[in-house]
Structure 1
Amino acid sequence: MKTTRRFALGAAGAGLLAAPALVRADAPIRWRMATSWPKNLPGPGVSAARLAGRVARMSGGRLQIDLFAAGEIVPAFAVLDAVSNGTVEMGHTASFFWEGKAPAASLFTTAPFGMAAVEHQAWLAERGGQALWDRLYEPFGVRGLLAGNTGPSMGGWFRKELGSAADLKGLRIRVQGLGGDVYAELGAVPQSIPPGDVYPALERGVIDAVELLSPANDLPLGFHRVAPVYYMPGFNKPNGAAEALVATKAWEKLAPELQAIVEAACAAEHAAGLADAERSNAEAIVKLVSMGARPTPFPADVLAAARKAADAVLDRVAAKTPLAGEIVASYRTASSEGRPWARIQGYMAQALRG
């Protein structure tokens, strides 16, 4: 009788000792997400916040993501390193920031005279682009996923109008990605400046022009007050894809259903970002014009010279590594195969809207 009682008490005690382990197992997983954006920057900053919230809701609180703006943990251009070395589990950024570390990375955000948002998404999802992206980032121990989009960019803010392509020589322009190489080909002096530091550089005359994103993203930064000439089209960035970076080690620790939730949340944010961009850009361009911005087409010879330079830039990227060559070839094939339908869609939209 005593033995039985001692066994029962022992079993109960073991159960009590085991209970905290069960609580710990059910506790939320907490990740930190570093971003390349100022807090709540319209477009990518908002996307990052929405993504974190969406993952929490879809997972029922099982996966919580704490969001950090550029500079709060690491600088804007150090997000890839932070995810790669385990400082954070996740990042929200743009792939063209890593062109120097991983040739052809820019194409997973955009390329000069390249594909628009839906074409780009089709390349990744249906034409083998995602597999190439995975291979590119594998040495860094990260995964890249589409996770927002600001739509096509404008050509940028210039203090003075360009008379011809010759006026680009010596012009100091803030520009990211392969577009910087295109501008360098045309004689300009590209500058790499984090989004949050661009306005002071423009105001102080450190730069003569700035290309950032679309009207909705540019509006709150006030570039129109210093450089009112707003050139178009944005040949540098015809697409504005953002990426979520996830550390491979952190990813592999997630249950399969949580992995699926992260993927679904990123895909949902890409769609939400595009819808948000369409609405907000339509509103922002009207406001900008009312405040003195002057949307202006690039001179024809600027576009012609830039297109030629863009082809040469992509050729050089393709020659850097075998994988870069595969990525550029795949991107070009997808762009070529999608062009006929893209042109028809463009004509139909113009004909129907007038």
Structure 2
Amino acid sequence: MKHAFKTALVAASLLTAPAAIADPIEINAVTLAPRSVYITQPFGQFVEEVNEMFEGEIQINWRGGPEVMPPFGQAEGVRNGAMGMTYTSPSYHQGLVPTSGTMNLSFLNYEEIAATDYHERMTELHAEQDLMFLGEIPATQLNFQIYMREEVTSLADLEGLRIRVFPTLLPLVQALGAEPIVLPMGEIYTALERGTIDGYMQGPLGQAEQFGGLVSTVIQPGVYRAGFPVLMNMDIWNEMSPDLQDRLMTFLREDFAPRMDDIWADDIAEERAAMEAAGFQFLELTGEEAERYEDMAMDAAWAVTAENAGEEIAAELRAMLDR
């Protein structure tokens, strides 16, 4: 990686932890993907910075990823105390918090979203389900593209095909006339190789190395945005003093998260070149066709949010996230 992971701990001057008067609060953490996967690297940096800046107050122990706890069960594991923290996908806990997947449903960047009340409302909505929403580690540039095993020349070619999704992406794939198949990331390769799926939706990085020889067509532009919520067990959160709670939340939301949002541009460009070298072909929608596709993606997903969470809350959140 050639981006901001190599930067120094520039936030050290923001927070100065007081002298410890008790043992630090230990937080066992789990992530949606293994340590080696690119999307977990920002969380690794977050853990390092927190443990250094809050030494004597907080100790986060990153226990691992899906090998420790299944991705779709991590939020529930945090809620019931089996784990203290998770860095997860917004849509992996929609069964607990029906509005959680809305974190993906925007073309705005982190600072634009943070200027609204969106993160505060997500804190309230998670608290209703006994989960602490500490904040998100954003990756707005990592939107979601469709990768197909066989060549396609238009969106119409997707009708009836089986496309792997995570829950937020399901309404779009249905709107395209395809069949959405919900699978964890770790199962995509085997399903594609065996023909269980015809394609998948995923972010723009790591595709050439993992799927070279299996993918024929990539459909662009990507849609939505990536952002990974950091959830905490409410009992552990309540062990912290109000001052410590405020300093930890402020560090994530106002210091760390803004630094993480625009670190991916070089990697995306390098990955595009790697995909071209691996023989991936690109179906690039432009002009009105691209606009219709993006509108379809948003409208389909928000319609499901309204159905599951209520029209009023869906409209409130969409007003914060629309460009």
When normalised by structure 1's length, the TM-score is 0.76
Shift of 1:49: 1.2
Q: Take 1:195 and 1:135, find their aligned partners in 2: how far apart are those partners? A: 29
For the Cα contact (< 8 Å) 1:27–1:62, is it kept in 2?
Answer: yes
**1:100 — aligned with what?**
95
Number of equivalenced pairs: 301
Cα deviation digits, residues 78-136 of structure 1 (max 9, x gap) = 1110110011111101211222333222112x12xx32323xx433x332212321222
* Pairing of 1:146-225 with structure 2 (within 5 A): 146-149=136-139, 151-215=141-205, 217-220=206-209, 222-225=210-213
More helix as a share of residues: 1
What whole-Å deviation, never above 9, does each CA across 1:310-340 have from its counterpart, x for those lacking one?
A: 4244234214334xx344212332345xx3x
Distance in 1 of aligned mates of 2:299 and 2:115: 24
Work out whether 1:315 is the aligned partner of 2:303.
Answer: yes
Q: Which residue is 1:79 aligned to? A: 74
2:123 is the counterpart of 1:134: yes
Deviations 1:147-171 (A, max 9, x none): 2426232422112232333322221
Note the aligned Cα RMSD (angstroms).
2.5
User: How far apart are the structure 2 equivalents of 1:335 and 1:25?
Assistant: 42
- Structure 1 distance, partners of 2:181, 2:162, is 7
- C-alpha contact 2:27 2:60 (8 A) present in aligned 1: yes
Aligned AA for 1:218?
Answer: Q
CA contact (8 A) 1:165 1:305 kept: no
1:276 aligned counterpart, secondary structure: coil
Q: Please list every run of 5 or more consecutive structure 2 residues that lacks an aligned counterpart in the other structure.
A: 1-19
Identity in percent: 23
State how far apart, in whole Å, the 1-side matches of 2:45 and 2:268 are.
Answer: 19
Gaps of 5+ in 1: 1-23, 340-354
Match of residue 41 from structure 1: 37
What secondary structure sits across from 2:249 in the alignment?
helix
- How big is each residue's C-alpha offset from its partner over 1:221-258, in whole Å with a ceiling of 9 and x where there is no partner? x12320131221112xx211111001121111113443
- 1:147 aligned counterpart, secondary structure: strand
CA shift for structure 1 position 53? 0.9
Q: Which has the larger radius of gyration?
A: 1
Match of 2:274 among 259, 262, 287: 287
- Distance of aligned partners of 1:277 and 1:219 in 2 relative to their CA distance in 1, 3 Å threshold: farther
Superimposed CA distance per residue, residues 187-226 of structure 1 (whole angstroms, 9 cap, x where no aligned partner): 21111111122112112211111111122x4344x12320
Query: In 2 relative to 1, CA 171–302 (structure 1 residues): closer, same or farther, beyond 3 Å?
Result: farther
Q: Is the 8 A contact 2:24 2:55 kept in 1?
A: no
- TM-score norm. by structure 2 comes to 0.83
